[in-house]
Structure 1
Amino acid sequence: MLSVILIIKILILITAGPCGITLNSSIVAVQLRHWMKGVNLGECDQITLIMGFTNVLLQCYFVLDGTIDTLELYEHLDKEFIFVSYTFFFFFISLWVWLTAWLAICYCLRLVNISHRVFIILKKTVPCWITQLLLGTVVILAMINIPIFWTMNTKAKQNTSFTSPVDFFNYEPNIKYLSFAAALGCCLPTLITFLCMGLSLMSLLRHVQRVKQNISQSWSGKMKTHAKACVTIFLLMALNVFFFLTVFIFILLQLYIGNNWDTLFWSIIMASPSGQAVILLLGNSKLQSDIL
């Protein structure tokens, strides 16, 4: 007879998996359809396209990992498979955060007017080189995360069987290398997102002050654009932080507590790609109308 926890995990797999894959696949399909019709995708549309594709792969990984964990198949897998799966996870999470940072940068450059020379140069160059910048981000993150596979101390554990994914953490990682990868892959893009969010918010407040002095349709339209961009970046940034905290707590629960609360946090992790897709749709009226 199936336990309640097992039934809940199966229901989450059945609902969250297809939902996340469907929403993000719709975003990818719409953007690809525009591109195939000869429409020149802007920098924000290109980032949204890669975000959707990344979320599809990430959701597929969560479904596969959740299925293996639910059916307790880890003891039949080699340790190399576990290492590769976690390397895949670290890479796409880092890419997820960096894509949010690039989207925040593009919104900031589009909405904020600063007369500083560096800002003007960035405003002219980033939109033109966004494809190369995104490709370079993927390559650099791959170069950083793939070597994690070889930095693990595989002599730290005597047996080679895995009864759960937590057994992966019984191996001794290179703390210095993981700290470097976390700083460059997660902390730096989060700080960039915070900075761009602050600049965009300041620009929005300046528009509010101008509207109070001189109400017009043009200022109203710009203010709506600023507000929607700020809300989108804030929600994406909040989702990233919430996701990392959830993963951290989930790992601690499995390592030290091991109670049924880890099912709740696992469910939140499963639903995160769907949450990002919803935020992208709410922040892009054109994308939302095309999908509908």
Structure 2
Amino acid sequence: MPSSHTLVFMVIFSLGSLAAVLQNGLMVTLLGREWLRCGTLPAGDMIVACLVTSRLCLHGISILNNFVNFFDFCYKAKTLGILWDFINTLTLWLTAWLSVFYCAKISTFSHPVFLWLKWRITRSVPRLLLSSLFFSGLSGISSVVGNAVGIETWYFFWHSVVMWFTPLLLFLVPIVLLIFSLHRHVQQMRDCMSGPRDPSTQAHTMALKSLSFFFVFHVLHVLTLLISMMQLITVWNPWHWAFEMVLYAGLFLHSIVLMRSSPKLRKVLRMRF
């Protein structure tokens, strides 16, 4: 029989996960209707739609995976673990591509590489989404092989380091570049004695705030993922459920930031509600 502390954390984790499922489900529904109505979505919203869909699946699988492990359904736990690894890797890559897209569209660097990227990024979004599926598939295959041959836990740890830190580094670079871009733009506006409500400055500020929150929540999520792969806290530990709350809190909070910072989502919410 679980202890009272375990039951409390289980209930809080379950309620938080259900709230995240409803939140991401709402975003998927709104963007999906808009996609069907217009026949297409802007490139940035297309990435957001795929991202919130993957997060919806991730939160749902995390609920099943935790309870299946807790009640020791070994065979189903392995199957869910492989599916969770695929969806989690997909989510990490989609977040990385979203930050790259923001940087390419909003930054004001005049280097030929950035100008080329700004010109190509919109048309490259479908390829970026397919590449996310490819890398996620590699991660899933690696998990299947590891489970089949009974490889030690440290194999999965280093597998996770490679599979998860690569998109994290890809995510970090655009944030740093946007900080420099925003700083340079603000300095130029001050030199020209422009007002603080310049549209370009507002766009930089909004994207920078969104990406800053995104980065904090994303780093928190990845670090807790790596700690979980070391299996320092087992599923029967009362603190396991508290740890899971922290693990998925970052994703939940960033989805709120996405909803508030996306003009398309704000517009649809005003129309629907």
TM-score (norm 1): 0.81
Match of residue 136, structure 2, among 132, 138, 141: 141
Would the aligned equivalents of 2:217 and 2:251 in 1 still touch at CA under 8 Å? no
> In the TM superposition, what is the alpha-carbon distance from 1:198 to its structure 2 partner?
1.1
Task: Tell me what 2:233 maps to.
Answer: 254
Bigger radius of gyration, 1 or 2? 1
AA of the residue aligned to 2:152: E
Would the aligned equivalents of 1:5 and 1:263 in 2 still touch at CA under 8 Å? no
Report the 3-state secondary structure (helix = DSSP H, G, I; strand = E; otherwise coil) of the residue aligned with 2:198: helix
Question: Once superposed, what is the RMSD of the aligned Cα atoms?
Answer: 2.7
User: What pairs with 1:78-97 in structure 2 (closer than 5 Å)?
Assistant: 78=75, 81-97=76-92
Inter-CA distance 181–15: structure 2 relative to 1 (3 Å threshold):
closer
Task: Tell me what 1:158 maps to.
Answer: none
Measure, in 2, the Cα distance between the counterparts of 1:259 and 1:30.
Answer: 39
Measure, in 2, the Cα distance between the counterparts of 1:7 and 1:174.
Answer: 30
User: What pairs with 1:1-292 in structure 2 (closer than 5 Å)?
Assistant: 3-38=3-38, 40-69=40-69, 72-74=70-72, 76-78=73-75, 81-152=76-147, 154=149, 172=152, 175=155, 179=158, 182-183=161-162, 185-216=163-194, 220-250=198-228, 251-254=230-233, 259-291=237-269, 292=273
Measure, in 2, the Cα distance between the counterparts of 1:37 and 1:204.
Answer: 35
Would the aligned equivalents of 1:25 and 1:53 in 2 still touch at CA under 8 Å? yes
Inter-CA distance 192–138: structure 2 relative to 1 (3 Å threshold):
same
AA of the residue aligned to 2:192: N
**Which consecutive unaligned segments of at least 5 residues does structure 2 have?**
none
Inter-CA distance 275–111: structure 2 relative to 1 (3 Å threshold):
same
Hey, which bits of structure 1, 4+ residues long, moved more than 6 A?
Answer: none
Would the aligned equivalents of 1:208 and 1:223 in 2 still touch at CA under 8 Å? yes
> In the TM superposition, what is the alpha-carbon distance from 1:131 to its structure 2 partner?
1.4
> In the TM superposition, what is the alpha-carbon distance from 1:14 to its structure 2 partner?
4.1
> In the TM superposition, what is the alpha-carbon distance from 1:252 to its structure 2 partner?
4.2
Report the 3-state secondary structure (helix = DSSP H, G, I; strand = E; otherwise coil) of the residue aligned with 2:123: coil
Inter-CA distance 114–271: structure 2 relative to 1 (3 Å threshold):
closer
Measure, in 1, the Cα distance between the counterparts of 2:211 and 2:237.
Answer: 35
Measure, in 2, the Cα distance between the counterparts of 1:282 and 1:23.
Answer: 12
Residue deviations 1:17-74 (CA, integer Å, cap 9, x gap): 22111110111111111111115411210111011101110010111123334xx421
Measure, in 2, the Cα distance between the counterparts of 1:35 and 1:136.
Answer: 22
- Number of equivalences: 269
Task: Tell me what 1:164 maps to.
Answer: none
Measure, in 2, the Cα distance between the counterparts of 1:248 and 1:181.
Answer: 7
**Which consecutive unaligned segments of at least 5 residues does structure 1 have?**
156-170
Task: Tell me what 1:159 maps to.
Answer: none
> In the TM superposition, what is the alpha-carbon distance from 1:227 to its structure 2 partner?
1.0
Report the 3-state secondary structure (helix = DSSP H, G, I; strand = E; otherwise coil) of the residue aligned with 2:110: coil
Measure, in 1, the Cα distance between the counterparts of 2:119 and 2:212.
Answer: 25
Residue deviations 1:99-129 (CA, integer Å, cap 9, x gap): 1111111111111233333322222222112
Measure, in 2, the Cα distance between the counterparts of 1:109 and 1:270.
Answer: 28
Inter-CA distance 280–181: structure 2 relative to 1 (3 Å threshold):
same
Report the 3-state secondary structure (helix = DSSP H, G, I; strand = E; otherwise coil) of the residue aligned with 1:254: coil
Measure, in 1, the Cα distance between the counterparts of 2:23 and 2:81.
Answer: 24
Residue deviations 1:197-235 (CA, integer Å, cap 9, x gap): 111111111121123223446962211110111121121
Measure, in 1, the Cα distance between the counterparts of 2:188 and 2:43.
Answer: 28
Identity across matched positions, percent: 21
AA of the residue aligned to 2:62: F
Measure, in 2, the Cα distance between the counterparts of 1:11 and 1:152.
Answer: 30
Measure, in 2, the Cα distance between the counterparts of 1:17 and 1:122.
Answer: 37
AA of the residue aligned to 1:243: H
Measure, in 1, the Cα distance between the counterparts of 2:218 and 2:201.
Answer: 26
